Structure 1
Amino acid sequence: MLNNKVSKAVRLAIAFGATSTAAFSASSFAAEEGAEKVERIEVTGSRIKRTDMETASPVQVTTAEEIAVAGFTRVEDMMNSLPQLEASNTAFQSNGATGTATLDLRGMGAQRTLVLVNGRRMQAGGIYTQSADINQIPAALIKRVDVMTGGGSSTYGADAVAGVVNFVMNDQFEGFEVDIGTTAYQHDNDNKYMQGLMDEKGFEYESGNTGFDGASFDFAATLGGSFDGGKGHAAGYFTYNKQNELRQGARDYSSCALSAAGTACGGSGTADNPNFYISAPNASGVVDFDDYEYWSLGQDSSFVSGDGNLYNYAPINHFMRPDERHTLGMFANYEINDHFRPFMETMFMRDRTTAQIAESGTFFNDNYLIDFDSPLLNDTQRQQLADRFGLGSGDQFATYIGKRNIEGGPRADSLEHNSFRLVLGSKGEVNDLWSYEAFAQYGSTSSSSAYENDFFGPRIATALSANGEDCSATDGCIPYDVFQFEGVTPESAGALTGTAILNGVTEQFIVNAFVTGEFEFSLPSSDYPIAAVFGAEYREETFSRTADEVYAQGLLLGQGGTTKSLNGEYDVTEFFGELSLPILEDKPGFESLLVELGYRWSDYSTSGSEPTYKAAVNWDVNSDWKIRSSYNRAVRAANNGELFAQQSTGLWAGSDPCATATPSLSAAECANTGVTAGQYGNITKSPADQYNGFFGGNPDLTPEIADTITLGVVANPFEDFNFSIDYWDIELEDAIDNIDPEIIVEQCGKTGDAVFCDNIQRTPGSGSLWIGSGQVIATDTNLGNIHYEGIDVSANYSVDIAGGTLKTSLIGTYMLSKEFDNIPGVSEVYDCVDTLDNGCFPQPEWRHVLTANYDTGSWWRATAKWRFFSGVNDYTGNDTLVKDNGIGSQSYLDLKGSFTLNDYTSLLIGVNNVLDREPPLVGGTLSTNANAVAGYYDTLGRYFHASVSFKF
């Protein structure tokens, strides 16, 4: 019977193993001494180690070879190219950058994607995110990456709502290898549409061939081998990566910021030549928006109309941040005997990056009272104030000022992350049927943010003091000569800036132990034994973030609000188990039928106990066809940021539907949002599409509950061809998030419901949501329901051609629905598949990667890859989105050549996006950076890469 089991296991492994990206591990079943002993393996999705069956959960496998040939020096870029993932935090972000790289499976949010290394979770990434930072992972030592859809909470605990991404490291690496590589971008700036828009505004831009830019250098050294007669093994690595910056001005399509509709170049009213809202003070001592002027400065320093005086802030912003990263680590194990095999994993990373954005400014942030007799004014201006508002000597006027600090240079956020991860444990045999694993794990990330060269609010007020006396009495103060045309000097601008410092440490401590094996009995209908795993885990998550007073009080005007300190911690005690129940085998239509069950009980210190569980069926119809299905109950408790973040002001990107002379909402609907009859049609929109919000955590959050169903078929219908098709459905209740402020305003207008309308506070007089005190309250809460469903497709085919082998593979995802019901019974349900409305991420219905690899069997190999995104065309806005009324389908062609120069040296050369396709352009409310969905679609044009490997 044992030989039959091994034979069947080997047959399954051959049929669906190394070439399949569907259900089965690439590991084969190794037989020893005439098949008397077979290797027990663990596959992502289950901790049960078996010799004869695999997990029923669908798993997409990306091999080390596929990662290498992709040519990416950042792991995030490789992962975001997979159809199952959306771009989250990436290197292509500047304003609001976290400095980390996170993964977002299915677009459900990085906080709902559990990231593992060798089946063990990673710690939070830093001061701005509670999700894992995959910058820590060395690409050179990755053996494979498993992406499992369908929840994994019963196996791995919280956060596995959308699924699991498991980085399996090559901890058995042998030899010494050095990899040296370089990359660069190149693009032909010939976007006539964007160039035409910039010509209309008189903006400058680059044209023609850019040459090579945005270059990077990559170095990796890996060393591994056995010791003490093969009892022990160790593998160590060191990597270094340096990425040069690329600014938005390097591409014509990002050299101005598009309007929300994408039909014009926008800009900021906080301009190099300042703009002013000016009036006589109202009863509250602020600008009277019932009787005011919007003025700028003429070259003679007189007040003139400020209409059209906008600053093009885009070119100086980073399109891709500069970055310098070091990683090092080691994986080691030693066999003392069959029962005690200690192991160790250690990983360290240091990463530094700088996010540069346009110069700071006054941003119409504060209301200033200026003396009519102030020495900052000239006689012409005083006469204009007298003629327009009847002011005279001894009076004051009120003003909001929009002055860009071009004299002082851009703002920069210097971000640093230092992460450390240590695992100490042991595994071994309990007896012939059972084995154990126990480990303690500690992970910590210390990170910092130094925000430099931003305007320091109190100094502005002093430098604009009503009669100049406050400035003259303050050391280092230089009057802010903002009322004189080009009157501000670099020295006076420099005296007005400040720096804010934020430091934080996140810590994770885990103790985990489990036993896994097979019982000596089976079900009456089966010859296979029942297998199981039983275990317990204790996990503690601590987060501490300390903001200096500048951050905490929001004293830098370019921050859009305050950034508070954050301190929080929670712990969870868990008990878990799994059963693998062979039902029957070797029957007509049932080569094997297996049921998998899992249960985990979790007790959180913050929200109490919650169970998670799973049930799965694995039905091998015959040796060539498999049907699988699973149900998972997943739970995600709120993290430290969601629970304990202090509530504070900030900015949100979008539009106010009650702004402009032609609001998209009616007068009655805008009245629901707090707009008076006199304000309707007279509210100024934000030129930068940024509005004030009030955000923060909520200690009363309850856990999210998700139910996931998968149903699929895996087949090997004929030789050299296999495929899998899996349907998946995820329904999430009590989703933890904040309602998009733009949706709050829209839903308030349409429904008048207090649930929305009570969260809108418009500035008295102006009705604005971006000037003065206006804001939308959008703190974290347990929202309504989220429903995602789709179909994953994977296929592999190989054929011998012209003395070589052509291997082709396809992975694709078809999205059926992506529905949001923020407040059931109150809000409208909306679907984000193939739509750009409601603040949706541009989710295409279909996305695939088709790869063809030709191996000559000699010294060279060629690879071609086609990456495809279907169009996203459902857009019902009042204006056309860019020039195509939506996002058209996108195709990218990648070509690679691999060359074995000798026994020790190999070379890889490739070009991604050979045809130099630009990213689809989107308006200001949809762009994540530079008029693009940056890091999702190809962002910077052609991508050249070359690397050489030395193996000894």
Structure 2
Amino acid sequence: MKNKSIKSGLMVTTTICSAVLASIVTLPSVAIAQDAATSSEDAPVTEVVVTGSRIARKDFVSPSPITTVSSAQIEASGSLAVEQILNTLPQVVPGFSAASNNPSDGTATVDLRGLGASRTLVLVNGHRMTPATKASSATDLNTIPARLIKRVEVMTGGASATYGSDALAGVVNFVLKDDFEGIELSSQYGLSAEGDAEQFDTSLIMGTNFDGGKGNLTAFVSYYDRDQVLGAERDWAFYSNAGGSATGLSGRADNVALNPYALTPTQTGCPTVTNRQISFTPTGEAHGFCNDFDLTNPVTDQYNFSPVNNLMSPSERISLSLLGHYDFTENLRGKLEVFFTDNRTSSQLAPTPMTGLSVPIDNPFISASFASLLAGRTDPTANFVFRKRMLEVGVRQQDHNNKMFQFVTGLDGTVFSDWKWDSTFSYGRTEFKDSTFNDVSRSRMIAATRGASDGATTTSCGAAQLAIMPACKPFNLFGAGSASQEALDFVRLDFSDTTTFERFVVGGNIAGDAFVLPAGAVGVAAGFEYREDTFSFAPDAAHGSGDIYGFNAERPVSGGYNVKEVYGEATVPLVAEVPFVKYLGLELGARFSDYSSVGKTEAYKAGLEWKIDDDFRFRGMYQKASRAPSVFELYQAGDQGFPQFTDPCSTKSPTSGADRTISQEVRDFCALQLGGDPVTLGYIQPNSQLESFSFGNANLKAEQSETITVGAVWRPSYIEGLSVTLDYYDIKVDDYINTLYGGAAGTVAACFATLDLNSTACFNSDIGQSAIYRDTTGELKIRTSQGNVSALETKGIDLAVDYKAPLGWLVKDSTLFSDKLDINVLVTKLESWKLDDIEYAGTAGAYNISATLPEWKSNIRLAYNIGPVLINWSSTFYSEMENQGNLAIFEDGGYSTVPNYWVHDVQARWGVNSNVDLTAGIKNLTDEDPPVFDNSPDGNTDPNAFDVIGRYYYVGMKFKL
């Protein structure tokens, strides 16, 4: 996947250019760094369109809270990935990122307020981007050209009245540089203090005005490369906090409750003296399975999967963009936007955990010690059940290749003197190919382990199997390195899946002043949009049928829908220029949609703005928003999953190994499923992860939300350069699409609460099958489906302070030190985040959700010029949280604490002259390790919320002509 020759060549070119340009371009002028520190939005404006409305305003203050991240702030972050820029914002709960590995689909997403990436609408220059992901239909932020961003506008709170579906949580609008003139070459290279995690990015922007300034074309091309970092390369990630996996190092024969093994001695040094689960020495001799979750114990039979898992996924990306506009007349302009991205990312997991393999007792590789244990069972002739970590096959790797193309064109202009109109046509297509390597075929594994009665030997498979699979080679399960290379090649399975998403949009808008009231003009906007989405997921035949061990089976899905929409907005001035009322006005809006999938939906908004004087104003907004279900939510066909939780019938904890107390009522209910009392049978859940199957629901309705925001804006004329905003938000989502009972664990809990296999909790009427059942070994299986079954509510307070603090008193008459210190503070106090009335605010790693939700989150940035050098310091803070592990469902005990987390970044940007800008920075200056906790979303922590790399150095160059 990686093209090292390209990267090496570009790095050499960058280094040479930096040195040469810095030395030969010496004419004094204003530094680029200083120019960038003052964003274009700081310039005086008379009329702008603010994200969240299509009616132009005289300033950037709107009735809805909006956070603007300028290009200077983006550059000061030193981040080369768009999601890293957004994840530090307090309004954002980090979604998939470069550090996502399990789960990961190779994308990067943004999630406002923790409502889910599918409920955050991503726009580029006000237009929808083509989705990429199967499950959420979210936009892959890797497709947005980071170096081309002029600013990012983040509006929280429902915005469906303006933009339609998917905007329940809000909108993230990336405004790009579409009027560039000249040539700008930028490059950046970074390396961690550990000598790994290399990142390299180089980009070229070329723009020109033509035809006397009537038109402009801006072209952009970039190349980005990121290296892999494994769990083995960080001490805190080396050992799995989950206690590893029961697949073992040399294989394990699972104890079957109805046909148990005798209690068998474990190896010397194991805390448990005997066990009915059977493991093997490297040479294949049988002994009791040492279920020690202390993975540092050399005799434990638990497998530590963490060292070979990714902490940072490798990636390679090429992006191309072309932006243009042309003024045909004073009142007619044409526009063009073309985007293409080829993004390649790889995730890596430990070798395949092969489980549930039924093996005949006449398998030719059975040792004498194991044969005697097989003979001692109640039914000595029955097959035995085996599991093994397939170390010799190699680590599982998934290469994710996302190719996205989007074309946007249209016309805009002015009619009736001052009415502005625009029309847009866009087409986008995403082709997402996932290639998986080093999985294991279930059918081939069965063939390679048949018994000797079928003619199998240690050198040949049975005749019946050879007739079906002539390439079959016998596989020795017992011990380490026991299988031949021919057998490994036979069972190894590589496969590829393809996801395709196409979006067609046509729309038009018109806006202007309808008439004049005593307090001012009534501004209105109206428009229409037709959107058509089609989606298909085509898994490899083996993947779709479940003929795999190392990944979950996923079924083919295809479908689509179209929607016809009309909307209208109005700003109505009520009172102006009277005592205590500089301006009082309303903002109103409504949108009516007709979906081919869910029928008609509506969205509304009503806001109030009260400007007391030029210094102080209040604002408030009520919005009712909606989101139509995605094709995947409608038609998911029974995808496989392995959530981690405790079987209520298990007599021991699957993670700690501690004894569990089971009530008599639950024991009786378990006996109906297991064919006997679980305590008498000594039933122990064989793995901490249990198999589940997920289905969609064609009868889903659209989600509905209500958002209330109330706030104040203070820009005192007597304190120059100060701006303070304080906003309260309250978001409620009803008919929230979720799995029944919150997922597999909740389904089991609900079923066991009824103690009735015929109850609605134990029988899933959506799919007409039992919600829980057990296989021949007694292992619990779960079926879940989607439904409008949940409710989500979150509320909190946002504070934003922007201040150019005067330092003239400190640096009087200095020509070197600036008399201003730029201060930017963003703080969010999360009051509540409830899903189905369960409070998650102040938690990390809670069961049922994979989100980090601190009570306090803040981002602080200071910027100061010393001559031509701009110094930036920024920090991100998370307050202390509880780790609400999934064991809390069935086990007593308190929660562990996730401590305060505070990281600091510093950067220096030297504006050598008007053409050359050099940058050096350190991310995570104090080398802060991420909080480590037991029930983590991925890799002993939340890798999307916390930095997993550590101290990181980078240098960069920008050259402009």
Q: Specify if TM > 0.5.
A: yes
Q: How many residues align?
A: 863
User: In structure 2, which of residues 242, 249, 253 is the aligned counterpart of residue 272 of structure 1?
Assistant: 249
**Is contact 1:531–1:580 with CA below 8 Å preserved after alignment?**
yes
Asked if 1:612 is matched to 2:639, the reply is no
Deviation track 1:902-943 (CA, whole Å, cap 9, x = no partner) reads 2211111111111111111111xx322210101201222112
Offset at residue 115 of structure 1 (A): 0.5
Asked if 1:808 is matched to 2:823, the reply is yes
Distance 1:709 1:300, change over 3 A: closer
Asked if 1:83 is matched to 2:90, the reply is yes
Distance 1:910 1:278, change over 3 A: same
**Is contact 2:250–2:282 with CA below 8 Å preserved after alignment?**
no
In structure 1, the residue matched to 2:121 is 114
**Is contact 1:471–1:478 with CA below 8 Å preserved after alignment?**
no
In structure 2, the residue matched to 1:450 is 435
**Is contact 1:881–1:922 with CA below 8 Å preserved after alignment?**
no
**Secondary structure in structure 2 of the residue aligned to 1:899:** strand
Q: Percent identity?
A: 29
Deviation track 1:199-240 (CA, whole Å, cap 9, x = no partner) reads xxxxxxxxxxxx311111101111112111000011110011
**Secondary structure in structure 2 of the residue aligned to 1:708:** strand
Offset at residue 290 of structure 1 (A): 13
Deviation track 1:675-704 (CA, whole Å, cap 9, x = no partner) reads 6672159443455x3221110211110000
Distance 2:238 2:188 in 1: 30
In structure 1, the residue matched to 2:374 is 385
Asked if 1:319 is matched to 2:311, the reply is yes
| Structure 1, unpaired ranges of 5+ | 1-17, 31-38, 187-210, 260-265, 770-774, 822-828
Asked if 1:343 is matched to 2:366, the reply is no
Distance 1:390 1:680, change over 3 A: closer
In structure 1, the residue matched to 2:102 is 95
| Structure 2, unpaired ranges of 5+ | 1-35, 265-274, 292-300, 457-461, 653-658, 765-770, 812-816
Distance 1:917 1:756, change over 3 A: farther
**Is contact 1:846–1:870 with CA below 8 Å preserved after alignment?**
yes
Distance 2:416 2:210 in 1: 26
Distance 2:147 2:775 in 1: 58
User: In structure 1, which of residues 418, 423, 439 is the aligned counterpart of residue 403 of structure 2?
Assistant: 418
User: In structure 2, which of residues 24, 46, 55 is the aligned counterpart of residue 48 of structure 1?
Assistant: 55
User: In structure 2, which of residues 516, 524, 545 is the aligned counterpart of residue 522 of structure 1?
Assistant: 516
Distance 2:954 2:138 in 1: 29
Deviation track 1:425-483 (CA, whole Å, cap 9, x = no partner) reads 01100121211000101111011111111110111111111221145554222211113
**Secondary structure in structure 2 of the residue aligned to 1:375:** coil
Moved more, 109-118 or 878-887: 878-887
**Secondary structure in structure 1 of the residue aligned to 2:917:** strand
Offset at residue 948 of structure 1 (A): 0.8
Distance 1:743 1:273 in 2: 34
Deviation track 1:9-67 (CA, whole Å, cap 9, x = no partner) reads xxxxxxxxx9999xxx936555xxxxxxxx54211010012447853111000000100
- Kindly provide the amino acid, as one letter, of the partner of residue 442 in structure 1: Y
Distance 2:707 2:665 in 1: 42
In structure 1, the residue matched to 2:196 is 213
| TM-score, normalization by structure 1 | 0.86
How do 1:152-301 and structure 2 match up within 5 A? 152-186=159-193, 211-259=194-242, 266-277=243-254, 293-298=276-281, 301=284
Deviation track 1:481-518 (CA, whole Å, cap 9, x = no partner) reads 11366421333222211122211210011001011011
Distance 1:922 1:683 in 2: 28
**Secondary structure in structure 2 of the residue aligned to 1:538:** strand
Asked if 1:740 is matched to 2:748, the reply is no
In structure 2, the residue matched to 1:851 is 861
How do 1:242-641 and structure 2 match up within 5 A? 242-259=225-242, 266-277=243-254, 293-298=276-281, 301-308=284-291, 309-363=301-355, 365-368=356-359, 370-372=360-362, 374-389=363-378, 391=380, 396-467=381-452, 468=456, 469=462, 470-471=464-465, 473=467, 474-483=469-478, 486-519=481-514, 521-523=515-517, 525-526=518-519, 528-560=520-552, 562-641=553-632
Distance 1:743 1:127 in 2: 24
In structure 2, the residue matched to 1:727 is 728
**Is contact 2:257–2:683 with CA below 8 Å preserved after alignment?**
no
In structure 1, the residue matched to 2:839 is 831
Distance 1:751 1:834, change over 3 A: farther
Distance 1:52 1:901, change over 3 A: closer
**Is contact 2:325–2:334 with CA below 8 Å preserved after alignment?**
yes
Offset at residue 740 of structure 1 (A): 2.3
Distance 1:267 1:124 in 2: 36
**Is contact 1:734–1:782 with CA below 8 Å preserved after alignment?**
yes
**Is contact 2:250–2:478 with CA below 8 Å preserved after alignment?**
no
**Secondary structure in structure 1 of the residue aligned to 2:426:** strand
**Secondary structure in structure 1 of the residue aligned to 2:601:** strand
Distance 2:887 2:256 in 1: 33
Distance 1:797 1:639, change over 3 A: same
Distance 1:375 1:436 in 2: 79
Moved more, 476-485 or 241-250: 476-485
**Is contact 1:127–1:447 with CA below 8 Å preserved after alignment?**
no
**Is contact 2:569–2:588 with CA below 8 Å preserved after alignment?**
yes
Distance 1:648 1:591 in 2: 59
In structure 2, the residue matched to 1:842 is 852
Moved more, 462-471 or 58-67: 462-471
Distance 2:852 2:660 in 1: 24
Offset at residue 767 of structure 1 (A): 4.2
In structure 2, the residue matched to 1:795 is 801
**Secondary structure in structure 2 of the residue aligned to 1:780:** strand
Deviation track 1:697-723 (CA, whole Å, cap 9, x = no partner) reads 111100001000000000023322220
Distance 1:898 1:610, change over 3 A: same
- Kindly provide the amino acid, as one letter, of the partner of residue 304 in structure 1: H
**Secondary structure in structure 2 of the residue aligned to 1:580:** strand
Asked if 1:756 is matched to 2:751, the reply is no
**Is contact 2:398–2:435 with CA below 8 Å preserved after alignment?**
yes
Distance 1:442 1:300, change over 3 A: closer
**Secondary structure in structure 2 of the residue aligned to 1:397:** coil
Offset at residue 173 of structure 1 (A): 1.7
| TM-score, normalization by structure 2 | 0.86
Offset at residue 281 of structure 1 (A): 8.7
In structure 2, the residue matched to 1:201 is none
Offset at residue 668 of structure 1 (A): 2.9
Distance 1:279 1:873 in 2: 37
**Secondary structure in structure 2 of the residue aligned to 1:509:** strand
Offset at residue 784 of structure 1 (A): 2.7
Offset at residue 134 of structure 1 (A): 0.9
**Is contact 2:847–2:885 with CA below 8 Å preserved after alignment?**
no
**Secondary structure in structure 1 of the residue aligned to 2:785:** coil
**Is contact 1:172–1:234 with CA below 8 Å preserved after alignment?**
yes
Distance 2:738 2:856 in 1: 27
Offset at residue 424 of structure 1 (A): 0.7
In structure 2, the residue matched to 1:206 is none
Distance 1:375 1:93 in 2: 42
Deviation track 1:290-344 (CA, whole Å, cap 9, x = no partner) reads 9994212245533211223121111111111111000011110000112320000
